[in-house]
Amino acid sequence: MTTTESPPATSVRPPSARKRGVKPWNQRLAPYLFVLPNMLVFGVFIIYPALNGFNISLYNSNNGRAFTPVGTKNYRRLFTDEEFWQAAGATVIFVVAFVAVCTAASIGLAMLLTKPIRARGFFRAVFFLPVLLSPVVVGLLWSWILERRSGALNAILGAVGLPEPGWLVSGPLALGATVFVGVWAHAGFYTLIMMAGLQAIDSSYYEAAHLDGAGAWHRFRHITWPLLRPTTLVVVILAMIAGFQSFDFIYTLSGGGPLGATTLMVQYIYEHAFQSPIQYGLAAAGSVVLFCTIFALTVLNFLYGRRKESM
Amino acid sequence: MRRSTGTVIGAAAVALATLAACAPGTDFGPASNGSPPGHLTYAYFTDGPDEKVTRDLIAEFERRTGATVDLQILPYSELEQQLQGRLAAGHAPDIARLTNLSPFRSDLLNLSANGADIGDQFLDQARETTSGPAGETVAVASDLTMNGPLVNTDLFARAGVALPPKDRPVSWPELLAKAREVQQKSGSPYAIAFDKSGARVAGLYNQFGTNYFGTDGAVQLDPAKAAAATRLFVDLNNDGTMYRDFWVQSGTKYEGADDMFLREDVPVYFSGNWQMGQFDQEARFGWTVLPNPCAERCGGFPGGKFMVALRQTTNPRLAAEFVAFMNSRQAQEKYAEKAHFLPTRKDLLAEGVDYPRRDAEMDVFLDDVRRTDPAAFSSAYSPGMDSTADAVVDELAAAIVGRQSVPETVARMRTSAQEALEASIP
């Protein structure tokens, strides 16, 4: 047994707050006051609608009014709805293709547009321009181009003696067309991010590799790709979220047709929320499922990215 | 530091709890839209040419009564949601123009009890829809539309094919034979076109002796009769009479075939009287209107809008007076003439309206109103009509591409109609 002697009472004077380095209350509060406006906006326009959306998914709304609690009925209905599964399937195909093509295209374009080529500024503007267009305009523009009989694309194909397919009439072709138009509209933005990532790579790596006689492929594989991985992860996550949320340009391009082949989950939600009979509960349940899917995939992507970083 | 974090989280929780008070089912207290005395708000969507005449009529009402009316134009696609939101928040307009009454039944003002004794003056077929449970008038059928074939007379003339008569309907085979002959001789890509709309093909089903809904309000779609109409429609799409892509692509979105007609791609186009104003200005060729063709029966398919006053109004008598004024004989005649709508008043329907332009064509539509089976009106005014019409578009497209047989298509249409009805009735 050991005993310790208490120090004399007079020597137990606590150090002053200032001595411990603790700031006065008004200084401690200051950072929170700076973020408060953003937090309020975030709470009112993001957190509250999200929570309320979940709440609404537990109600049945006949014609959009007279809300009655129904528990998980909307979720059960959702998961037994053939149309929902068709939309979910189309969404998965669209997102996988969109993310893959967008990422590859943005890497390729970024590498091309960081090279000292002639009229580089012009080409950068050309590839970025679609990002500035309204998605509705993008959809309408391409629907005119892809129309089988009067569209510009088939007019060109016909003129050179090639077959003139119904781009928006056959399911697989229409889904392919929506992916293409989506990439066309979004790739400029991801290219910009990739260009920033490429410019952050120290040129001395390339110079050293060049001196060692490494070819273009080896330079890409052993320098560009590993150092671009964090940027690629950001692009993949952003493209994935954009893919899951795609609606406006598809609605004006194909209307979700033919026969629901390009109806993605957001359109399914839109149709149930805003077309008669209005069923807010079912639409909200669809939104919750979509949110959970995007959230889970984003977290997985981050975890995967972090693991790769630590390896 | 920990205490500050707790304070922030606490404040956020209080804010969220306050906001959550607006959860579904919240009682907003006694309904009142708070319009000051002598002032009305009118939620309106426009088809185009009707806006000017509506404003003129409002100005006349304001002159006569000293009241003021705020015309609030809403996009048609958002009308139902916006109105529901405003009703839920207790800020509904006093008056509204609607196409579907069923979502708002419990919100409609009893016009009869507020001095507007106007129930019996309008189309009998709409009476049941515009009446409340005790027979009181809660809405007025304010305008009527009629589907029908519009024809390019120049293409007929160029092909040397005589136009079918305008004073009596021909059969479907007769009309199709003529349209195909024009297609062949004039080189137009197709013979006929239908707007991509479940309401437009509803006319075809009606002519074949059945409707989506019957006069008893229940789903009708007689399997044999509906199958005959469906088979004809599918065949027309697959044998080159119609542009197949038009019905297959673009999902359930409504699409008018007016562009095809204006490009002279088709000699015969099934649409309705609301196209009169547009074609009068834009068509660079001669055109006219024919009676709907007959199969088992003749006639077309009606549509139209309703004018209602909402119970939340703080000026119920003025609101009822406004509805009565806007649907008075003089006002409705002016409205119909300027906007190329068909009247809903019995007196105007019986006597006809003298349209300053395209009077002969409007008379063809009016004659078709008289020929149309009453069950078509029940179907058009059914609460399940809108979503059934969307489902019909989908099912027909699936049949056209051969994904399902004609009997399967009809069976699926019936199921959709039943589901639509159940989802629409409170």
Spatial distance between the Cα atoms of A151 and A143, rounded to a whole number of angstroms: 8
Give how far Cα B197 sits from Cα of B288, B347, B410, Å: 22, 31, 16
Average pLDDT of the residues of chain B: 89
Distance, CA of B420 to CA of B379 (rounded, Å): 13
Q: Between residues 389 and 408 of chain B, which touch chain A (CB distance below 8 Å)?
A: 390, 394, 397-398, 401, 403
pLDDT for the residue B19: 46
Which pLDDT band, with edges at 50, 70 and 90, does A213 fall under?
confident
Nearest Cβ partner of B251 from A32, A43, A256?
A: A256
* Cα B60 to Cα B63, B128, B296, distances in angstroms: 5, 31, 46
* Dihedral, CA of residue B234, residue B240, residue B245 and residue B248, to nearest 10: 10
Interchain proximity A254–B251, CB inside 8 Å: yes
Confidence at residue B304, expressed as pLDDT on a 0 to 100 scale: 86
Q: Which two tokens stand for residue B225?
A: 């009769």
In A37-156, DSSP assigns E strands to 59-62, 65-69
| Token pair belonging to B90 | 């207790």
CB contact at 8 A, B302 and B377: yes
Q: What is the pLDDT of residue B159?
A: 96
Instruction: State yes or no: pLDDT of A58 exceeds 50.
Output: yes
Taking CB atoms and an 8 Å limit, are A47 and B16 in contact across chains? yes
Q: Per residue in A66-124, pLDDT tens?
A: 788 999 999 999 999 999 999 999 999 999 999 999 999 999 999 999 888 888 889 89
pLDDT given at position A248: 94
d(CA B50, CA B326): 13
pLDDT at A15: 53
Helices B316-326 and B329-339 meet at what angle, rounded to 10? 60
A8 alpha-carbon distance from chain centroid:
64
Copy the structure tokens of residue B248: 């297959």
B305 Rama class: left (phi>0) / alpha (psi -120 to 50) / beta: beta
Q: Which two tokens stand for residue A74?
A: 């909307």
Q: How far apart are CA B319 and CA B302, in angstroms?
A: 27
Decide if A117 contacts A202 (C-beta within 8 A): no
* pLDDT for position B147: 95
Contacts with A168 from chain B: Cβ below 8 Å = 245, 249-250
- Neighbouring-strand partners of residue B156: none
Q: Which of B191, B188, B298, B311 is nearest to B242 (CA)?
A: B191
Q: What is the DSSP letter of A46?
A: I
Residues of chain B contacting A166 with CB distance shorter than 8 Å: 245, 248-249
| Residue B213: DSSP 8-state | B
Segment B114-120 long-range contacts (CB within 8 Å, at least 24 positions apart) = B114/B309, B114/B316, B114/B317, B114/B319, B114/B320, B115/B317, B115/B320, B115/B321, B115/B324, B116/B320, B116/B321, B116/B323, B116/B324, B118/B323, B118/B324, B118/B327
Per CB-CB distance under 8 Å, the chain A contacts of B243 are 149
**Is B386 touching A (CB cutoff 8 A)?**
yes
The DSSP letter of residue A161 is: T
ipTM given for this complex: 0.80
> Which residues in chain B are closer than 8 Å to A247, comparing Cβ atoms?
none
For A247-278, write each residue's pLDDT tens digit: 999 999 999 989 999 999 999 999 988 887 78
Q: B193: part of which helix (H) or strand (E)?
A: strand B192-194
Q: What is the mean pLDDT of residues A28-42?
A: 92
**B250 at the A interface (CB within 8 A)?**
yes
By CA distance, what is A271's nearest residue in B?
Answer: B252
Q: Is the pLDDT of residue A19 over 60?
A: no
What distance in Å separates the CA atoms of residue B419 and residue A81, rounded to the nearest whole number?
A: 13
Residues in chain B predicted with pLDDT less than 50, given as ranges, are 1-2, 16, 18-22, 25-30
Quote the pLDDT of residue B10. Answer: 58
> How far is A144 from B170, CA to CA, in rounded Å?
37
Distance (Å, whole) CA B170 – CA B291: 8
* pLDDT digit string, tens, across residues A127-147: 999 999 999 999 999 999 999
Q: Hey, are the CB atoms on A259 and B248 less than 8 Å from each other?
A: yes
What percent of the residues of chain B are helix, what percent strand, and what percent coil, each to the nearest 5? 50, 15, 35
Of the candidates A49, A283, A278, the one whose C-alpha atom is nearest the C-alpha of residue B81 is: A278
| DSSP letters spanning B43-112 | EE---STHHHHHHHHHHHHHHHH--EEEEEE--GGGHHHHHHHHHHTT---SEEEES--GGGGGGB--SG
Distance in angstroms (rounded) separating the CA atoms of residues A55 and A49: 9
Q: Are the beta carbons of A55 and B80 separated by less than 8 Å?
A: no
Coil, strand or helix at B272: strand
**How many pairs of residues across A and B have Cβ atoms under 8 Å apart?**
129
Of B225, B245, B228, B229, the residue nearest B237 (C-alpha): B245
> How far apart are the C-alpha atoms of B60 and B42, rounded to whole Å?
15
Count of positions (residues) in chain A: 311
Question: Quick check: B249 and A29 CB within 8 A?
Answer: no
Residues of A in contact with B250 (CB under 8 A): 168, 254-255, 257-258
Contact B123, B346 (CB under 8 A): yes
Across A19-48, average pLDDT: 87
Among residues A243, A238, A288, which one has the least CA distance to residue A262?
A: A243
**Which pLDDT belongs to residue B44?**
95
Nearest Cα neighbor of B15 from A37, A256, A7 is A37
Asked whether residue A49 carries a pLDDT value surpassing 60, the answer given is: yes
How far is the alpha carbon of B349 from chain A, nearest alpha carbon, in Å? 31
For the question of whether the overall pTM of this predicted structure is more than 0.80, the answer is: yes
> What pLDDT score does B5 carry?
55
Angle at A95 between CA A302 and CA A54, to 5 degrees: 70
Spell out the residues 6+ positions from residue A128 whose beta carbon is closer than 8 angstroms to its own. Answer: A188, A189, A191, A192
Helix (H, G, I), strand (E, B) or coil at B166: coil
* Cβ-Cβ contacts under 8 Å, A47 against chain B: 16
Chain B neighbors of A44, CB-CB under 8 A: 15, 19
Percentages (nearest 5) of helix, strand, coil residues in chain A: 75, 5, 25
